[in-house]
Chains A and B, each alone.
Chain A
Amino acid sequence: MTHKVIKVKDNDVVGSANDFLSHLLSSGKIQALLVPQNTPSKKVAFPVLISDPKKLHADIVAPILPVSTAAIVSKMTKVQPPSKPLGVVMRSCQIRALIELVKLNQASLMNIVIIGVDCPGTFPINTYTEFPEKKTPTQFLLEVWTKKSDEAEKYFRSACQVCKDPVPTNADIVLGFYGADIEKEIFVEAHSEVGKNILQELSLEDEKEGKNREKAVKEIRNEKNKKRTVFLKEKEGIKGIDKVSEFFDKCVNCHNCRQACPICYCKECLFDSSVFDAEAYKFLRRAEIKGLFKMPNDALLFQLGRMNHMILSCVECGLCEQACPNTIPLMEVFIPAAENAQKEFDYHPGKDTSEKIPMIVYREDEFLEVGEK
C-alpha cells in the first residue's frame, strides 16, 4: 500500500482534490474520469464523465448521490469495457454494488481505476438542492467535519446514518478524509498495483499521519456499526402483516425503487413483464376471493419479490428509498432484511468478486434442519 497526501491549499479541500484529479487526468494515466460535479445551476452534483482536464470542476465532497454510480459503470462497461484506463470516483456503497454487478456479469473492472472517496454521508436530493443553511452543502459539511460535530447528521439520508462502512474497500486509490487534518491535507492511498503505479508517477508527499488515519477509520466504523445496531433494534417492530401492509400502504407500484437500485440489473423487471398481464375475469375472480382488492394490485408481491431477488446483494445504499415518490422509508425494512439474509448465508456483498452469490452454490451438508422432520 502506498500512503501519500494531497496538500490542501488555501483551505480549499475541493479545489485541492481537483488539482490532484486534473493532474491525474492530464498525466495520461487515465483517459477520462467519472466524478461528481455540480451542474451549472449548482443545484445538484451528478457523476460526470470528463475527458478534458480544463473542464474539471468536480466536487468529491458533495453530499449527494442522485443516481447509482455503480449502475453507470455497469452501463459503460458491460457491452465492452474501455480499452484504456478510466478513473471512476465512487463512494464505498457504490463500489460494493459494482463488485456485485461484476459477479452478475453486468460490469467489468477491466481498465477501470476505482478511486474511492471517504463518505461522510449524503443528503436527499431535495435537501441538497434546497439546502436550508447559509452555505453550500459541501462547505457546511467540511466545516462540520473540522469541528467534529454531528450537526450534519440530521440532514443525512437514513441509509447514510447507519452506513455499513463509509470507508472504501476494493478501490485502487482511496482519497481519505477520516483522520486527516483537512485544512492541511487529504490522504491518498494506493490499494492495488494499478493504484500504486499511478500514484508513483504523480509527485505527492508521503503520508506522515498514518496512525491517525488507521485510528480514525476504526473509530468511524465502530461508530456507524453502533448506530446500525440501534437502528436494527428499533426497526424490529415492523413485523406482522398488519404492520407490513401499513408500511407499504403508500406504494403505488411504480417500481422507481427497482429502477434506482444498482442491484436490480434486469432489463425488464419480472413484475413489469407479461407474466402479470391477466384477463379481466382473473382480476374479478381475485376480487371475489376477498370480496375486494386494491388496485394497482400486487404491490406487496412486488416488494417481497424484489427483496427476494436482490436482498443478498443489497449494499444498503438507500437509493430505493430516495427514489420513492411517496417517501416510504424503505431502509427500515430492507436493512434488517439484508442484515438477516446475508448473515444466514454468511455472504458479504461487495467484499470480493470471487465470493459466489449464494443462490448459485450450495453445500450438501448445510441447512440440514430445513426439509427434514
Chain B
Amino acid sequence: MRRIGVFVCHCGINIAQNVDVKALTDYASQLNGVVVAKEYKYMCSDVGASLIKNTIKEFKLDGVVIASCSPRMHEHTFRRVANDGGVNPYRVEISNIREQCSWAHSNKEQATEKAKYLVRSAVSKALSLEPLKPSTLKVIPEALVIGGGIAGIQTSLDLANDGFKVHLVERDPSIGGHMAQLDKTFPTLDCSSCILTPKMMEVANHDNIELLSYSEVTSIEGSIGNYTVKIRKKPRYVDVDKCTGCGDCASACRLKDRILSEFNQGMGKRGAAYMPFPQAVPLKYVIDDKKCLFLTKGKCGDEPLCKKACAQGAIIFDQKEEIVERKVGAIIVATGYDVMDPNSVYEYGYDQSPDIITTLEMERLISSSGPTKGDILRPSNQQKPKSVTFILCVGSRDETQCTWCCRIGCMTTLKQAYLLREKLGEDVEINVCYNDLRSFGKGYEEFYRTVRGLQTNIFRGFPSEVRTIKDYLKIDIFDTTTSKLFEIKTDMVVLVPAMMPRADTIEFSRLLHLTLSGDGFFLEAHPKLRPVDTFVNGIFIAGCCQGPKDIQDTVSQAGAAASRAATILSQDELEIDPLIAMVDEDVCTGCGICVEICPYEARTLNERKRIAEVNDALCVGCGGCIAACPSNASIHKNFTKKQLLNMVDDIM
C-alpha cells in the first residue's frame, strides 16, 4: 500500500479566505491511500518545508500531494523539499487550489467543493507516480553562435573570454550586421563604427573564436550538450589565406562601381569583386557570383582582370562550397531583423521619389564612410535639402502591418534630427510626424529634450499621404494636439519603417525546432524570467531575432545569452529531465506512428527489434507520441494513460 501525505497551504489568506482549508484537510485525510493530511499557513516557507520533511519521516510517506499555488510556481521547490525529506522528487503532485480555485472563485462553499475534487484527483495521480531519476549526458564545451551582428559578436566574445570555444557563423561576407551601417548611436552619439570595429577585430583575433563568415547553418541534430551542426561555407572565390585585403582586385574589376552596394542600402556602388565596407571582418575580398561576368557568363574580356591584378594569386574561380561539421554543447541564435519594405505603406510613396528614404538610408548619407562621404544631399539632385520631414511608425503599431513597436524609431529619428541640425546648421527645417514619442531608456528623455530645443517641429499626427510634386514633396497632416490641418512642403522625407522578423525565420525555426511568437519573432521561454531561453534546451536567443530592441538592450541580452549558455558549457555532465517518453518493448508493434509524429526526431524505428525507441536526450516530454499510440506501448513517464484516466475518474 502506498503512503501518501497531503499538505494543504493557506498561502496566508490567499487560499484560506475562499477555501475552507480545515474541511479540505479533513476530506483529504479520508482519501484512499492518504495516511496523513496537514495544513499550514505557508507551505513554501522554511517552517512549511520542515513540516513536510518531518511528516514524511514520521509517517514513512512515499508520496506527497501539495495543495497550494500553481505547479508552475513552486513545483520545483516542493520536489526539492520532498527529496530532502526522503521521498523521490517525482513522487510529488501539486494540486493548484490558488490560481485555479481560491483566486478565481469567491463563493467559499463552491471553491471548497472544487478544491476537494482537485485534491482527490491529485492524490489519485500521486498513488501511481513512479520514482524517477534524471539521466546524464556529457557536455561538449563549445558553442555555436548564429549571426554576426552586435548580438552575435557580444555573445561570442563573452563566451570566448569565459574560455569556451565559439564557432560564429555569419551569412554575409563580413560580421557587423546593421550596427556597422549606423553613423552615430543614441543617446550618447558614440560613433557606431568606433565602438563596433574594435569588437569585430577582437572576434577576428580571438584564439577561442572560429569565424565562419559567408556561411550558413544547414542542419542541426542532437540535443543540449551535444549538437552536431552542419555549416555551408559559400565560395568567396578568394583564397582567404592569401588575400591581404589590398583591394587591387576590386579596383581592376570591370564592373567596378556598377553594382548597387547592399551595405550602403543601394545608395552607393561597388564592383563584383568587393569588400562590403572598409572595416569588414574578415578583411578579405569576395567575388559576387551572381554578378561577376566570369562566373555568370564564363567570360570576362580576354581574362578576368581581378585575377590578373591579384599579385598573391588569391582569386580562385573554381572554388566550391564546402560543408563543415562542428559539435557544440549550446547554440545562440542572434540572426537579427529585417527592415520592413516601406512600399507596403503605399501612401507614403517610397518608390515615387528618390527623396523619400528610410532611416537606414539616412544613416548611410550621414556616415562619413557613406556614398556622399557624410554630406547630406538629396538623392534626386545632390543638393542640400532645405527641409527634411520624418514620418514615424511606418508599418509599426499598425494593425494592417506590424502590430508591434520597433522600439528604435523614435530615438533614431531624434538622433538623426540632431545630426542633421549639426551638419546642415540653422538653414534646414526639420519636421517630425509622430503619434507617440517613446523615449523610455536611460538618458533618452534628456536627449529628446535636447532635440526639442533645436528648432525641431514635432507634429502629433500622421500624414495621409506623401505626394511627389515636381522637385519637392507635399504632405497633408492633421496635428491632433492643435486640431489643425495643414500642408508641409519638404525636400526629403525620411520614413521610419517597422522592424520585421527576418524573411526566413519560419524556415529557420523549423531547422532549430524553435517556437515563434505571434509577431513572427522567436519566442522566449518566459517573457520575464527566461528571456533568452527558448523551449529547446540548449538553444538561446539574443538581439532582434527575439523582438525589436536597441543596441543597449541587444548587448545586455547577448551577455545574458552567453551567461546562460556558459551555465551549460561549464558542466561536465547534464541531468536530463526524466519526465519523457519511453517504450514498452513487449507491447510496441513498430508501426512507426510515433516516429512520424515526433517533431524533435527523438524517436527512431529499430527495424531489427521491430519497435520504436526514444532518444532520451532529444525527447522533450510533450506526450504527443503517447496520444498518437493506439496501444500502451508509448508511455509518458508520470503522465501515463492510466494516471490520466485515474485523474479523470477522480476529478468527477
Contacts and interface: CB of A to CB of B under 8 A. Distances in A.
B626 to A, nearest CB: 11
Nearest to A362: B597
Nearest to B646: A282
Interface residues of B, number: 26
Contacts of B649: 282, 285-286
Contacts of A309: 630
A211 interface: no
Interface string B565-577: 0000000000000
B51 to A, nearest CB: 28
Contact of B642 (A269, A274, A285): A274
B339 to A, nearest CB: 27
Interface in B628-652: 628, 630-633, 640-642, 645-646, 649-650, 652
Contacts of A279: 32
Most buried by A among B588, B591, B640, B646: B591
A11 interface: no
Interface residues of A, number: 28
Contacts of A360: 593, 596-597, 628
Contact of B630 (A266, A281, A356): A266
Interface string A352-363: 000011011000
Interface string A302-328: 000000011000000000000000000
Nearest to B650: A285
A269 B596 CA distance: 21
Given A267-B587, A269-B631, A275 B645 contact: yes
A268 B642 contact: no
A265 interface: yes
Nearest to A281: B32
Contacts of A356: 596
A149 interface: no
A104 interface: yes
Contacts of A295: none
A273 B596 CA distance: 24
A349 to B, nearest CB: 15
A106 interface: yes
Contacts of A202: none
A245 to B, nearest CB: 19
A292 interface: no
Contacts of A267: 586-589, 631, 633
B138 interface: no
A79 interface: yes
B605 interface: yes
A274 B632 contact: yes
Nearest to B635: A275
Interface in B583-608: 586-593, 596-597, 605
A265 B610 contact: no
Nearest to B32: A281
Contacts of A276: 645
A105 B632 contact: no
16 contacts: A104-B592, A104-B593, A105-B591, A265-B591, A266-B587, A266-B589, A266-B630, A268-B586, A270-B630, A273-B587, A273-B631, A275-B640, A276-B645, A289-B652, A310-B630, A359-B593
Given A276-B645, A285-B649, 10 more contacts: A104-B591, A104-B593, A266-B587, A267-B589, A268-B631, A273-B632, A275-B640, A279-B32, A285-B650, A359-B593
Please list the 3 inter-chain residue pairs (A to B) with the smallest Cβ-Cβ separation, ordered nearest first: A266-B631, A360-B596, A309-B630
Interface of A: 78-79, 104-106, 265-270, 273-276, 278-279, 281-282, 285-286, 289, 309-310, 356-357, 359-360
